[in-house]
Amino acid sequence: MNRTLILWVILMVLNGCVSNQHVLNSFESETLKVKQVSNHVFTHISYLKTDDFGKVACNGMVYFNEGEAIVFDTPTDDIASKELIHWIEAEQKKKIKAIIVTHFHTDCLGGLQQFHDNDTKSYANNITIELAKKNGLEVLPEHGFDNKMEIKIGKEPVFAEFFGQGHTVDNVTGYIPTEKVLFGGCLIKAEKAGKGFLGDANVAEWPATVKKIKKEIPDLKMVIPGHGKNGGTELLDYTIQLFEE
């Protein structure tokens, strides 16, 4: 067996190992998908039935480190949230340290009761808690913060931050410095996406809010929008342009 053939065999074996790892770290059912997007970051995707836009796929984020996990936004309902919790804790053997709700709409906190039943601490912008209460939601995030929050997952910091108004007056983002990943939530649009639901939006402030993110976190490698495909900083640029028109 010559060197070229040996090298080819080694590469195929390694590729198989990577592929198998990816499969092990993914999940899919009728109500929930989980996809690995970096070494320690995953997107969870669940579905919301709407009158104006039909069945909408909604993104959230999961980060693992040293046996712990943090989740940004619950799946849209109890069934999908229960599946996500089981996948994280029973299958991946990670303890969920916190769930962070990025704004007061159902696609962010529709399954919050399942996390409370799991004894997971929940956090949100104080304005989010107020708006959820005003809109008649019975299950509310337990802990509030103003502007910015830091939490350690393992030994690494994770941030939730309010940069300004946009999709809603309360929308916050999630940032993982070690991965250089931003969860923009519904503040950030996927490439070629439309403006979406604007009933609670501040369209005038939206571009300026996203510009602040670009300025304060200039070295992002990945941006996860609230709906649609992940991308890089081009999603920030697209969102700015969309709402400046």
> Within 10 Å of residue 130's Cβ, how many Cβ atoms?
15
3-state helix, strand and coil shares in percent for the chain, rounded to the nearest 5: 30, 30, 40
CATH number, residue 138: 3.60.15.10
Amino acid at 22: H
User: What φ, ψ does residue 227 adopt, rounded to 5°?
Assistant: -145, 140
**What does the DSSP 8-state code read for residue 186?**
T
Q: Which domain holds residue 73?
A: 27-244
Apex CA 57: angle with CA 53 and CA 61, to 5°? 140
The verdict on residue 8 lying in a domain is no
The verdict on residue 12 lying in a domain is no
Q: What is the pLDDT along the chain (245 residues), one digit of tens a residue?
A: 455 545 454 545 455 444 444 444 789 999 999 999 999 999 999 999 988 888 999 999 999 999 999 999 999 999 999 999 999 999 999 999 999 999 999 999 999 999 999 999 999 999 999 999 999 999 999 999 999 999 999 999 999 999 999 999 999 999 999 999 999 999 999 999 999 999 999 999 999 999 999 999 999 999 999 999 999 999 999 999 999 98
Half-sphere exposure of 38 (CA within 13 A, CB side): 23
The verdict on residue 43 lying in a domain is yes
The verdict on residue 206 lying in a domain is yes
The verdict on residue 85 lying in a domain is yes
